[in-house]
Amino acid sequence: KSNYLITDLKHPQIKNNIHKALTEGFTTFKVKLGDDLNDLLFLRKQIPDFVSLRVDFNSKLDLNRFKELIKKIKTHPNTLKY
């Protein structure tokens, strides 16, 4: 299967949606984020390590904020696969 798209991490059924996607065979999740690292870390905790995680910031970050966020992400091993 291709990418499973997550657009709302605050959705009340997010854990159920993730479980359903996994049972349907998705191994890559794409998530649309703002600049909150906690959202990304929450998602990483919900999915197994074998699942690749892709992020899309939707042009919400300027270059400096992007660099800051990448530095923070690097302090959390296995958060992003690519």
- Per-residue pLDDT of 51-79, as tens digits, reads 888 888 777 788 898 888 888 888 877 77
Neighbours of 38 (CB within 10 A): 8
pTM for the structure as a whole: 0.76
**Residue 21's pLDDT band (cuts 50, 70, 90):** very high
Residue 36 has pLDDT above 80, yes or no: no
In this prediction, residues 3-19 reach a mean pLDDT of 86
- Residue pair 21/51 in contact by the 8 Å Cβ criterion: no
Q: Which DSSP helix (H) or strand (E) runs through 29?
A: strand 28-32
How many alpha carbons fall within 13 Å on the CB side of residue 74? Answer: 6
**Residue 22's pLDDT band (cuts 50, 70, 90):** very high
